[in-house]
């Protein structure tokens, strides 16, 4: 019995593995060739391609998996995206949207890091169209309107929407999810728009982004504001969640540093909140609690609703704080790991792996299924946190046991982690793993660094003839050496067209299988034979 108690999580994993042995169906690997990153010497210098940003075929394959699902349905449909078990959607928070706001938002963040890793790949049909589609889905009434129509998890017998009107006296009308006291939606919506504008230099969402930043800033700083209670923004409607307020904080930082055309200081509100948060929303270990009920907090009631310790809360919050206040995150991360991240060893079975606990202070012999379920959530965010903090060893150790339970596979040119006994969790599970798969070339902090005006005039890929069968693993302009580096993996013949490439000369690690064609400011590389190719376009 002692062994069972000490190894309860591992035993659950073993049961899942046993089921998967019978349920998993393995399919052939992708026909996409595996890329290599050799050294290429040109008239302008020598380039070791593995020292420049690139993405793996597996990351691209997972992105394709998402694209197929996203574009297989209309903007207001969410088949195979919603979280469900036995065909029944699982509601996270108010409404019956199955947490779609979270699924879409965190998918957008992982996608954004992937896109930023290959900044010279700008075929609008591949990256921009997909990012825009995710944002459009985020604005679907099913996602945005959950807060207004909610009859679930009502507060004091009223929906959150109606309670906010009655309690705060705010004339909300039909503004749905963009209303006050709803940081769960508004923060993610703002950050998704900020990342979209950063990546594509497209002002499509600039007006709504600026409006939302104005509203959030006012709510956080204006003590006369009807809903202002603390330096943060509440939800549901009087809960102040630790992790949710890290989202608009990063959006503010990106806006101030990278998107504004005249000086703004939205981030000052986030900086003030972080200082207050560290003083008022931490436990005796100096780690964050999940949140507080501001009504009880202001009344001096020590029993704050949601005032509990949480592994996923700390992992999520630290990952985002690292993007806008690295010094604070670096102080918090070791504390978080020592309390919530447990190293385990099972020789001959899985070896060393790490497991993130949701409640590290709970009874260690508890068999509470909800504790285990929330610990699975904590492990998802634990991967994101380890990745953002550059702790690749910890990231790999967490992914290790997950990949043992859900071994990934290729389906054509799509790569994903099947979850056959939890079919309704497959999309969200892959969304989390997708972020964990990202190599450490790019973190959330990169989005707070303004791109130079010359960036948009650099050489870039404007068109790939077959985006499904020609993977672009590397597309990076080396400004210091006036060279564009390109690595691709082609399963079929096709073309790659570059623009802003006047006077460029193509060098390659391969001697055959392709033909470059020069046309004023454009260069088109025709791939005649399937294979992995490496190019350096050198400029004078």
CATH code where residue 497 lies: 2.60.40.1180
Question: Tens digits of per-residue pLDDT, 220-261?
Answer: 999 988 889 999 999 888 889 999 999 999 999 999 999 998
Residue pair 355/286 in contact by the 8 Å Cβ criterion: no
Number of domains the chain contains: 2
Place of tokens 């499509």: 204
The pLDDT of residue 13: 52
pLDDT band, residue 306 (cuts 50/70/90):
low
Name which of 54-63, 208-217, 365-374, 448-457 the model is least confident about: 365-374
Distance, CA of 518 to CA of 437 (rounded, Å): 36
The pLDDT of residue 26: 46
Q: Examine residue 414 and state whether it is found in any structural domain, yes or no.
A: no
Name which of 78-92, 197-211, 330-344, 448-462 the model is least confident about: 78-92
Taking residues 163-185, report their average pLDDT: 72
Residue pair 215/225 in contact by the 8 Å Cβ criterion: no
pLDDT exceeds cutoff 60 at 150: no
pLDDT exceeds cutoff 50 at 19: no
Question: Tens digits of per-residue pLDDT, 469-524?
Answer: 999 999 999 999 999 999 999 999 999 999 999 999 999 999 999 999 999 999 99
Taking residues 37-56, report their average pLDDT: 98
Number of alpha carbons in the 13 Å side-chain half-sphere of residue 264: 20
The closest of 413, 417, 439 to 428, measured between CA atoms, is: 417
Q: Of 308, 339, 355, which residue sits at a domain end?
A: 308
Question: Structural domain of residue 462, as residue ranges?
Answer: 458-538
Name which of 32-46, 250-264, 393-407 the model is least confident about: 393-407
Mean residue pLDDT across the chain = 88
Q: Examine residue 223 and state whether it is found in any structural domain, yes or no.
A: yes
Q: Examine residue 358 and state whether it is found in any structural domain, yes or no.
A: no
Dihedral in degrees, nearest 10, Cα atoms 153, 159, 165, 170: 60
Question: Tens digits of per-residue pLDDT, 252-265?
Answer: 999 999 999 899 99
**537 compared with 180, residue with greater pLDDT:** 537
The pLDDT of residue 425: 84
pLDDT band, residue 133 (cuts 50/70/90):
very high
Taking residues 100-123, report their average pLDDT: 97
Taking residues 192-198, report their average pLDDT: 99
Identify the top-confidence range among 11-15, 18-22, 222-226: 222-226
Taking residues 335-354, report their average pLDDT: 86
Taking residues 350-377, report their average pLDDT: 77
Helix, strand or coil, per DSSP, at residue 88: strand
Instruction: Kindly state the percentage of the chain with pLDDT values over 90.
Output: 67
Q: Examine residue 345 and state whether it is found in any structural domain, yes or no.
A: no
Taking residues 126-149, report their average pLDDT: 88
pLDDT exceeds cutoff 80 at 84: no
The pLDDT of residue 91: 58
Question: Tens digits of per-residue pLDDT, 277-299?
Answer: 999 999 999 999 999 999 888 88
Q: Give ∠ CA 486-197-472 in degrees, rounded to 5.
A: 20
Taking residues 340-367, report their average pLDDT: 78
Q: Give ∠ CA 308-310-316 in degrees, rounded to 5.
A: 130
How many contiguous H segments (helices) and E segments (strands) does the chain have? 18, 18
Question: Which positions ≥6 away from 134 have C-beta within 8 Å?
Answer: 70, 104, 107, 108, 111, 192
Q: Examine residue 342 and state whether it is found in any structural domain, yes or no.
A: no
Name which of 8-12, 81-85, 104-108, 230-234 the model is least confident about: 8-12
Q: Is the whole model's pTM more than 0.75, yes or no?
A: yes
pLDDT band, residue 117 (cuts 50/70/90):
very high
Distance, CA of 145 to CA of 147 (rounded, Å): 5
Taking residues 356-363, report their average pLDDT: 80
Read off the tokens for 250: 């990063």
> What is the distance, to the nearest Å, from the Cα of residue 198 to the centroid of all Cα atoms in its chain?
15
pLDDT exceeds cutoff 60 at 172: no
The pLDDT of residue 29: 65
Residue pair 256/308 in contact by the 8 Å Cβ criterion: no
Q: Examine residue 316 and state whether it is found in any structural domain, yes or no.
A: no
Q: Of 308, 327, 357, which residue sits at a domain end?
A: 308
Q: Of 308, 327, 360, which residue sits at a domain end?
A: 308
The pLDDT of residue 1: 42
DSSP calls for 475-528: EEEETTTTEEEEEEEESS-EEEEEES-TT-EEEES-SSSEEEEEETTEEEEEE-
Q: Examine residue 254 and state whether it is found in any structural domain, yes or no.
A: yes
The pLDDT of residue 182: 86
**10 compared with 244, residue with greater pLDDT:** 244
Distance, CA of 282 to CA of 285 (rounded, Å): 8
Neighbours of 505 (CB within 10 A): 17
Q: Examine residue 122 and state whether it is found in any structural domain, yes or no.
A: yes
Instruction: Kindly give the pairing relationship between strand 291-293 and strand 239-241.
Output: antiparallel
pLDDT band, residue 4 (cuts 50/70/90):
very low
The pLDDT of residue 225: 87
Neighbours of 362 (CB within 10 A): 13
pLDDT exceeds cutoff 50 at 426: yes
Instruction: Kindly state the percentage of the chain with pLDDT values over 70.
Output: 86
């Amino acid at each position: 019995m002692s062994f069972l108690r000490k190894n309860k999580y591992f035993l659950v994993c073993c049961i899942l593995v046993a089921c998967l042995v019978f349920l998993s169906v393995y399919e052939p690997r992708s026909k996409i060739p595996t890329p290599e990153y050799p050294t290429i010497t040109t008239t302008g210098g020598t380039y070791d391609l593995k020292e420049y940003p690139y993405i793996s075929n597996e990351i691209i394959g997972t992105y394709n998996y998402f694209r197929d699902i996203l574009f297989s349905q209309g903007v207001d449909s969410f088949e195979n995206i919603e979280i469900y078990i036995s065909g029944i959607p699982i509601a996270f928070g108010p409404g019956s949207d199955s947490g779609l706001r979270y699924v879409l938002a965190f998918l957008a963040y992982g996608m954004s890091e992937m896109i930023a890793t290959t900044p010279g790949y700008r075929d609008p049909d591949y990256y921009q169209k997909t990012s825009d589609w995710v944002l459009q889905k985020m604005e679907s009434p099913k996602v945005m309107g959950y807060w207004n129509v909610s009859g679930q998890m009502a507060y004091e017998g009223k929906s959150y929407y109606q309670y906010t009107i009655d309690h705060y006296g705010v004339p909300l009308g039909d503004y749905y999810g963009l209303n006050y006291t709803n940081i769960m939606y508004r923060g993610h919506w703002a950050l998704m728009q900020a990342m979209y504008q950063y990546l594509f230099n497209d002002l499509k969402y600039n007006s709504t982004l600026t409006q939302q930043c104005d509203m959030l800033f006012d709510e956080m700083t204006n003590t006369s504001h009807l809903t202002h209670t603390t330096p943060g923004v509440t939800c549901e409607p009087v809960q102040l969640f630790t992790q949710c307020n890290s989202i608009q904080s990063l959006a503010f930082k990106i806006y101030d540093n990278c998107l504004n055309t005249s000086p703004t200081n939205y981030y000052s509100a986030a900086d003030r909140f972080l200082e207050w948060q560290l003083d008022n929303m931490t436990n005796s270990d100096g780690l964050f609690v999940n949140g507080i009920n501001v009504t009880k907090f202001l009344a001096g009631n020590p029993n704050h609703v949601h005032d509990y310790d949480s592994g996923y809360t700390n992992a999520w919050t630290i990952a985002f704080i690292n993007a806008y206040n690295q010094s604070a995150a670096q102080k918090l991360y070791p504390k978080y790991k020592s309390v919530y991240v447990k190293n385990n060893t099972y020789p001959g079975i899985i070896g060393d792996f790490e497991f993130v606990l949701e409640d590290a202070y709970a009874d260690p012999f508890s068999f509470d299924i909800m504790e285990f379920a929330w610990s699975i959530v904590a492990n998802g965010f634990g991967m994101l946190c380890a990745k953002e903090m550059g702790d690749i060893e910890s990231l790999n150790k967490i992914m290790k046991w997950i990949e043992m339970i859900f071994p990934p596979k290729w389906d054509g040119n799509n790569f994903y982690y099947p979850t056959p006994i939890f079919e309704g969790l497959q999309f969200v599970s892959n969304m989390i793993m997708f972020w964990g798969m990202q190599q450490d070339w790019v973190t959330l902090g990169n989005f707070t660094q303004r791109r130079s005006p010359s960036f948009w005039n650099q050489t870039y890929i404007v068109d790939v003839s077959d985006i499904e069968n020609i993977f672009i693993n590397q597309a990076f302009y080396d400004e210091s050496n006036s060279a564009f580096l390109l690595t691709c993996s082609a399963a079929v013949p096709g073309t790659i067209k570059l623009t802003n490439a006047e006077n460029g000369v193509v060098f390659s690690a391969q001697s055959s299988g392709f033909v470059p064609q020069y046309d004023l400011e454009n260069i088109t590389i025709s791939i005649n034979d399937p294979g992995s190719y490496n190019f350096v376009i050198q400029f004078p």
